[in-house]
A and B are shown apart, each in its own frame.
Chain A
């Protein structure tokens, strides 16, 4: 039964890391605009390669 001690620890760490990830997601603004990404994903990227690739969105709020 001692394994339960380990399992409790693992489950808490796991749940805690989910909480942490959720915090990060909130901070990065993922939940602020829930419509535009659904349109954006449908754009085909068949343009000529451009030297100015768009910079990945950074969280700087």
Chain B
């Protein structure tokens, strides 16, 4: 029998996937499935085929979409709808959806031309980076449910989760108010510099004397918004920390601002001299610039996701054998729900159907489904694979086995408070030193010349104003954050860098973090497989989406497949095929009717039988992530390493072989035990770094001082954490950790640099011989040199360590 291989040419016009035998045709265009064809038809009906001109195969495959029509019925519930809408008046409603499928220019075009498909939609606008679309529609003409159905029909189903229903959290982009403050400070600073030019050339008599007075008064006028508006955040922060009897970086800054302003006012109005208003403006301008630099976050990523972001918004409840779609919030204990293929189980519940295949990859990282029997308890967070199942709810969605984690106290305390930043420690010492020097100078001069003593006091306060000190931290950390971001390591905020630098204990999760589901170790035990059998197997597994099929498919490699007479997959059990009147089965022991199944402790077993005769079995073990041994090896000399796994301890030996004996291994850890383990380490005074991936690590990630979530799809899935690491950068963990340490050293070095400036300035100031010119030169010079020093040295370091390759990037 000839083997038929589909030629490369028959690619789906919509999504670009290879079309199987049952390709659908419309005119000269080929589609891989009904879904893709439907999208094309909707678009061509509305004369919107420009979509396909903008990019080849712009669509996403529609194969695995479940086309249930009542899926969005929960949106008819006015309560739910109101919570989703941004705005509503008599005629118009505004709503913003998160659509993860947005990926190319065609998507933007199509989503922004929705008004051509339905006249009820008046406006839609895409934010590509955040993958969001804002839609305005006239709700008399089209309901919210219809809008969502329309998006779903054209292949852009919005992701609506429970967290959308909560009070909308403000996105963590750079604060708009800080930007405005920076603008004001910049405006005033620029103008003040212009008006101060004559002062810098006071000996030259550049312009007539009478302008001087005017310029000074204009400077006072311009300084008022700087002091009252642009600096207001610093007053609040300084006041808060003083109230708590601590001194943070903002205290000396506020002291500096006040002394600069008051002393300058006194100079200008009492003596007619120029003050230091321009320095004041410059100080605030650079400070705010550094603040924005530090605030720059990865706003497209979400760091605070909890279980609510993953759970569905609605469930199908059975009431007297009638399906009813209700919002999850209205689900009660004892309700009977129907969960279909690929749907998430929203609450801990008992299985009423005979069997189920639950994929816990969200929870544990292991994507091979677990079989469950009637009457077993199924934890929330699993995903059903296969036929619809009936469940009865045991616990409300917010109180399940997994979601209990979120009620743990670890989720209450803000982490930023755990560790005092380096700059705060230094600023405490700094402030007291400066204050005592200032008063010593005052007391020294007071008996001889009282007004000179005042001048010395003010000069010390002014010149010691910690401009450079205050700028070194934000600029160093901001730049470090940016360098990490380029290497696909995204930190929640700049303070994570400092915490990362102090870590001494690293805790790994095993499944999904150290192991990679895609790198399975497969071996076949039994009779040797002939080329013909392999070709048959290839045809069988390439039709299935089961993860074990995918792995066997990868193991078979790129070989041609046989054309089989029939292929039938029984979800969760196996694949049955007929070829030359022989029945070939691939699947579980029961499915293949194996009498004496092997009992292996680790991994998964897939049997192969032909006409009821066992040929052998595949043994599939999850493999270690590429470079995982190297990462562990590099970390071992420096850090105390621990490994937590939810699995049984049977893999201990092979892990020890690959990762070495220097790690503390702990198996069969429940999510709560993981959290408690981290808590114990913390209580021992360790500074912990947790690296995990699934929702079951969420507690541990939260409890640790720094929690890094490893994810293959950064924007799709990651539990709440301090940092998200793209799985492709996993091997760079050791360099990232040492870079964080070194950036802390850079902060220290720049502190030393600014101390040097201060020593020079203060030694002049205590003698009362500080002239405005020296002051005007010293202050901007110290600030700018510190900014340049930190930026250049972090970049140079990153370049040396191979974290960035070219400086023109980004």
Contact = CB atoms under 8 A, between A and B. Distances in A.
A33 B187 contact: no
B183 A1 contact: no
Contact of A15 (B54, B125, B176, B190): B190
B180 A36 contact: no
Contacts of A4: 207, 211
B47 A52 contact: no
A43 B109 contact: yes
A8 B218 contact: yes
B105 A52 contact: no
A19 interface: yes
A47 B87 CA distance: 30
B176 A19 contact: no
B708 interface: no
Contact of A36 (B123, B128, B211, B214): B128
Nearest to B177: A26
A39 interface: yes
Contacts of B113: 47
Nearest to B186: A19
A30 to B, nearest CB: 11
A40 to B, nearest CB: 6
Contacts of A16: 187
Interface stretch (B114-122, B334-342, B409-417, B770-778): B114-122
A32 B115 contact: no
Contacts of B211: 4
B180 A50 contact: no
A19 B119 CA distance: 40
Contacts of B119: 51-52
Contacts, number: 79
Interface in B130-188: 130, 136, 173, 176, 179-180, 183-184, 187
Contact of B50 (A18, A31, A47): A47
Contacts of A44: 50
Contacts of B127: 32-33, 36
Interface string B176-215: 1001100110010011001000000000000110010010
A18 to B, nearest CB: 8
B183 A23 contact: yes
B191 A15 contact: yes
Interface in A26-59: 26-27, 31-33, 35-36, 39-40, 42-44, 46-48, 50-52, 54-55, 57
Contacts of B180: 23, 26
A43 B110 CA distance: 11
Contact of B108 (A8, A19, A22, A36): A36
B112 interface: yes
A22 B129 contact: no
Contact of B112 (A26, A33, A40): A40
B126 interface: yes
Nearest to B47: A48
Given A26-B183, A36-B126, A54-B112, 19 more contacts: A4-B207, A11-B191, A11-B194, A16-B187, A19-B184, A19-B187, A31-B179, A35-B129, A39-B105, A39-B108, A40-B112, A43-B54, A47-B47, A47-B48, A47-B50, A50-B116, A51-B119, A54-B115, A54-B124
Interface of A: 1, 4-5, 8, 11-12, 15-16, 18-19, 22-23, 26-27, 31-33, 35-36, 39-40, 42-44, 46-48, 50-52, 54-55, 57, 60
Interface of B: 47-48, 50, 54, 87, 94, 105, 108-109, 112-113, 115-116, 119, 122-130, 136, 173, 176, 179-180, 183-184, 187, 190-191, 194, 207-208, 211, 214, 218
Q: Please list the 10 inter-chain residue pairs (A to B) with the smallest Cβ-Cβ separation, ordered nearest first.
A: A36-B128, A33-B127, A19-B187, A55-B123, A39-B105, A52-B115, A35-B129, A35-B128, A22-B183, A54-B123
29 contacts: A1-B207, A5-B214, A12-B191, A12-B218, A15-B191, A22-B183, A23-B183, A26-B176, A26-B179, A26-B183, A32-B173, A33-B130, A36-B125, A36-B127, A36-B129, A39-B105, A43-B50, A43-B109, A44-B50, A46-B50, A47-B50, A47-B113, A50-B115, A50-B116, A51-B119, A52-B119, A54-B115, A54-B122, A54-B124
